[in-house]
Amino acid sequence: MTPVAYPQAFHPIWTTDKRYVVLWGGGGSGKSNFISRHLVVRAATEKDNRYIVFRKHYRQLRESVFAECCRRVNELGLGNHFVFMLSPMQIVCKTTGSVILFMGLDNQEKVKSTARVSTVWFEEATEFSEDDFWQIDKELSKAETKYPKRYFLSFNPISQQNWVYGAFFAETAERAEFHANALRIKTTYRDNPYLSADAAEFFERAKTLRPRFYAVYGNGEWGTPEDLVVGPLPEVDRIPDAAKLVCYGLDFGFNDPCALVAIYRDDGVYYVKELLYRTQLTVGALADVMKEMQVEQYVPIYFDSSRPEMAAGLRAAGYLAQKANKSVAAGLDALKSHKEAGRLFTLGANVNLNKELAVYAWRKDRDGHILEEPEDGYDHGVDALRYGLFTHLKYSGYGSGLTF
Ligand SMILES: Nc1ncnc2c1ncn2[C@@H]1O[C@H](COP(=O)(O)OP(=O)(O)OP(=O)(O)O)[C@@H](O)[C@H]1O
Ligand SMILES: [Mg+2]
């Protein structure tokens, strides 16, 4: 095995006897990198062990945790000892017989095969529900294993309202025993000497440009609800069958992600579905992806009007691209008032949009007074939603949207 260094903060994990290992904090601190390495090293050295890596959404697995684990196998020089399989998704060590399985919780045939599983990893644990977690805990507790049971959770502390805060951080008498069985390690990008200089600079810049984003993703502080512009939207698992597609919202980006959402309406209630959140797309590539996703050509796409050449490209490809109403305050007000009236829902699978909403905050002046302007920069999905929903409300004569 080729030795590869990792941030020192994670060192205690190799020897801990705690059941729950909670890795939390800012982005880029090496949490995912470490846990994937830990599992690969264990699979290469422990005989006949089984591990499951969970993400809430199956479609996120392949490019995140599965890809990470495959990279770790190669970095550690273990390529000859492992085989990678996509269906079912797993990585098998031929030498030890140990298996790392990858599962999404939205694909229900799954968690039946917990036999002999000793270790699980909930990547982006805040995306799961508390119920998901305890169901799996219950299932695994039944399984007899020769290796100790261990649960990894990794996440950014997006909101104190999230169940993870209640379960692992809120100090209550009933939780005392449970907390005693948890090793919590907080890290930020400053703990990761292997982070690229560019990425570290990105966080440093955010310190003054986007303090709210920085607090959570830079400094790893728990997000609190005050001064959020919209806040997390209530989540549903699927768009109801009766809901009709009314429009799309599109925020162009190249170095920043290009975000495309679809907006559905059923009886005055709106549902948003994230279709795309990707950087480095030219207009030609975007049109191709939209075609692949079967974006409807007769449904309006409300886009950011500061990029007319992109819209021209989409129109040439046959799409009904129309300028969005871009008034920021009124648009955000429409999102917020729909949320408060129980008329706006997001899919749990809208991973990027939901993350943005959880930290999208008003700017503050030097004295801490809230300004009439949101923090810029981590708002691509929110902008796409605002362009789509607000312009739709305006054009369809719903006014502020709440008078129907
Ligand atoms: N040996 C190493 N240990 C840790 N990180 C490394 C190492 N070598 C390179 N890196 C880089 O540092 C970054 C750490 O990212 P990683 O995805 O593990 O962080 P994270 O804490 O999971 O972030 P997030 O909270 O955003 O998920 C990656 O870009 C990774 O490639
Ligand atoms: Mg990570």
The per-residue pLDDT for 210 is 85
The per-residue pLDDT for 369 is 83
Q: What is the DSSP string of 183-206?
A: EEEEE-GGG-TTS-HHHHHHHHHH
CA dist 167 and 160 (Å) reads 11
Written out in words, the top-level CATH class of the domain with range 235-395 is alpha beta
Q: What is the pLDDT of residues 309-340, one digit of tens each?
A: 888 999 999 999 999 998 898 999 999 999 99
Residue nearest to atom 7 of ligand 1 (CA): 194
Write down the architecture of domain 8-198 according to CATH. 3-Layer(aba) Sandwich (3.40)
- Lining ligand 1 with CB less than 6 A are 4-7, 27-33, 156, 192, 194-195
Residue 337 Cα to ligand 2 midpoint, Å, equals 33
pLDDT(231) > 50: yes
pLDDT(108) > 70: no
CA dist 399 and 337 (Å) reads 12
Q: What is the pLDDT of residues 28-38, one digit of tens each?
A: 999 999 999 99
Q: What is the pLDDT of residues 198-215, one digit of tens each?
A: 999 999 999 988 888 999
Please enumerate in sequence order all residues whose Cβ is within 8 A of that of 129, keeping only pairs 6 or more positions apart, or say none: 163
* Both tokens assigned to 396: 């369809």
Decide: 252 and 303 in contact? Cβ < 8 Å. yes
Please enumerate in sequence order all residues whose Cβ is within 8 A of that of 78, keeping only pairs 6 or more positions apart, or say none: 1, 40, 44, 93
Q: What is the pLDDT of residues 30-65, one digit of tens each?
A: 999 999 999 999 999 999 999 999 999 888 899 999
Decide: 348 and 104 in contact? Cβ < 8 Å. no
Q: Sign of the CA dihedral 151, 155, 157, 161?
A: negative
Which range (90-99, 107-116, 237-246, 286-295) has the least confidence?
107-116
Across the chain, mean pLDDT equals 92
pLDDT(400) > 60: no
Where along the chain do its domains lie?
8-198, 235-395
Please enumerate in sequence order all residues whose Cβ is within 8 A of that of 51, keeping only pairs 6 or more positions apart, or say none: 39, 42, 43, 98, 99, 100, 101, 117, 118, 119, 120, 121
**What percentage of the chain has pLDDT greater than the value 90?**
76
| Ligand closest to the CA atom of residue 202 | 1
Decide: 149 and 119 in contact? Cβ < 8 Å. yes
The per-residue pLDDT for 304 is 87
Which helix (H) or strand (E) is 278 found in, with range?
A: strand 269-278
The yes-or-no answer to whether 8-198 and 235-395 have a common fold is no
Q: What is the pLDDT of residues 272-307, one digit of tens each?
A: 999 999 999 999 999 999 999 999 999 999 998 788
Question: What letters, b where the CB count within 10 A reaches 16 and e where it falls short, cover 366-376?
Answer: eeeeeeeebbe
Residue 229 Cα to ligand 1 midpoint, Å, equals 29
* Both tokens assigned to 303: 């886009």
CA geometry: angle 399, 403, 404, nearest 5 deg: 105
Residue nearest to atom 24 of ligand 1 (CA): 27
Q: In what order do the strands lie in the sheet with 258-266?
A: 235-236, 344-347, 269-278, 258-266, 244-251, 301-303, 321-323
Q: What is the pLDDT of residues 112-160, one digit of tens each?
A: 677 889 999 999 999 999 999 998 998 888 888 999 999 999 999 999 9
Residue 191 Cα to ligand 1 midpoint, Å, equals 10
Q: Of residues 110 and 381, which shows the higher confidence score?
A: 381
Residue nearest to atom 9 of ligand 1 (CA): 194
Residue 96 Cα to ligand 1 midpoint, Å, equals 27
Residue 69 Cα to ligand 2 midpoint, Å, equals 12
Residue type, 155: F
pLDDT band at 107 (very low <50, low <70, confident <90, very high): low
Residue 388 Cα to ligand 2 midpoint, Å, equals 30
- Ligand 2 is a single-atom ion; what residues have CB below 5 A from it? 31-32
Residue nearest to atom 30 of ligand 1 (CA): 195
pLDDT(94) > 50: yes
Per-residue CA distances from 189 to 156, 193, 321, 379 (Å): 12, 8, 40, 21
Average pLDDT over residues 366-390: 90
| Ligand closest to the CA atom of residue 31 | 1
